[in-house]
Amino acid sequence: MHSQNLIFDADDTLWENNIYFLKAFDEFVEFLDHSRLSPAEVRAVLDEIEEVNRHIHGYGSLNFGRNMQQCYQRLCEREIRPDDLDAIMRLAERIMEQPVELIDGVPETLEYLAARHTLTLFTKGHPEEQKLKIERSGLARYFTHTAIVKEKNAPAYRDLAASRGFLPEVTWMIGNSPRSDINPALEAGLNVVFIPHRDTWVLEREPLRHGPGKLLCLDSFRQLRDFF
């Protein structure tokens, strides 16, 4: 294959991310100790809060903590104390303390691809938190460019391609999220590689949509070597 422009998502594509948010949520449910609501019902309330707040405050561990605090204030069956809200925020702060756990096959596959193609890292979230994860991952050396944006939508992909001089026909977005990686990149006219993750955040899931570009679905990150 001739040299291509390969754009990579970060969280849950290169390294584990949502598993730590799920663990914090489980601890939150235990702390809330609701007398009637199941964990799934509590999750539905939190999802509703997150859907609204992500358009206002964005993403990241601390915003997740604020969302859990808001959920607690809505559902708590006892007097709400400042210490309770502090304890909930600590659940979120511990997410940032977790080691960066690379997904199987990522380092060696990136090394292989970087020798043949132009690699770009394209992620969303809190800039400082994302920069810290990139630094701790040890993967920055494989990428010629890194961009951190508030939201990954079709205009963001068009802006990235235009700023880097990427022609759509030789440009691929690689990620796990239909909502942020696959559908908007297709809408922007790029090709995409969908690598599902079993623990993709529920708000990042949606049906795959068609676009002018190609859609390639793989089972693992290692399989990229077979196609690029």
pLDDT classification of 170: cutoffs 50, 70, 90:
very high
Q: Band the pLDDT of 58: cuts 50, 70, 90.
A: confident
Tell which of 96, 130, 155 closes a domain: 96
| Residue 36 and residue 91 in one domain | yes
Tell me the average pLDDT across 15-22: 96
Residue that is last in its domain, among 33, 62, 96? 96
pLDDT of residue 169: 94
Q: Are 132 and 194 in the same domain?
A: yes
> What's the structural domain count of the chain?
2
Question: 112 with 220, same domain?
Answer: yes
Same domain membership, residue 144 and residue 210: yes
| pLDDT at position 53 over 80 | yes
Decide which of 212 and 145 is more confident: 145
The whole domain housing 195 covers 5-16+101-227
For helices 18-32 and 82-96, angle between their N-to-C axes, nearest 10 degrees: 160
Average pLDDT for 53-70: 91
Residues 221, 155, single domain; the answer is yes
Q: Are residues 123 and 216 in the same domain?
A: yes
* pLDDT value of position 203: 87
Question: What is the 3 state secondary structure string of the chain?
Answer: CCCCEEEECCECCCECCHHHHHHHHHHHHHHHCCCCCCHHHHHHHHHHHHHHHHHHHCCCHHHHHHHHHHHHHHHCCCCCCHHHHHHHHHHHHHHHCCCCCECCCHHHHHHHHHCCCEEEEEEECCHHHHHHHHHHHCCHHHCCEEEEECCCCHHHHHHHHHHHCCCHHHEEEEECCHHHHHHHHHHCCCEEEECCCCCCCHHHCCCCCCCCCCEEECCCHHHHHHHC
Residue 221 and residue 148 in one domain: yes
Give the pLDDT of residue 115.
96
- Span 106-130, average pLDDT: 96
Residue 1's pLDDT band, with cuts at 50, 70 and 90, is: low
Do 11 and 46 lie in one domain? The reply is no
Q: What is the mean pLDDT of residues 144-154?
A: 95
Q: Are residues 113 and 27 in the same domain?
A: no
More confident residue, 99 or 173: 173
**Angle at CA of residue 138, ends 25 and 114, nearest 5°:** 115
The pLDDT of residue 33: 94
Q: CATH number, domain at 112? A: 3.40.50.1000
Q: Is the domain of 130 the same as that of 193?
A: yes
Do 106 and 153 fall within a single domain? Answer: yes
**pLDDT class of 182 with cuts at 50, 70, 90:** very high
Examine the fold and report which residue of 78, 96, 114 is the final residue of a domain before the chain moves on: 96
Per cent of the chain over pLDDT 70 is 100
What average pLDDT does the structure give for the chain? Answer: 95
State how far the alpha carbon of 34 is from the alpha carbons of 7, 31, 66, in Å.
43, 9, 19
Same domain? 42 vs 113: no
Q: Give the CATH number for residue 63.
A: 1.10.150
Distance CA 207, CA 136 (A): 33
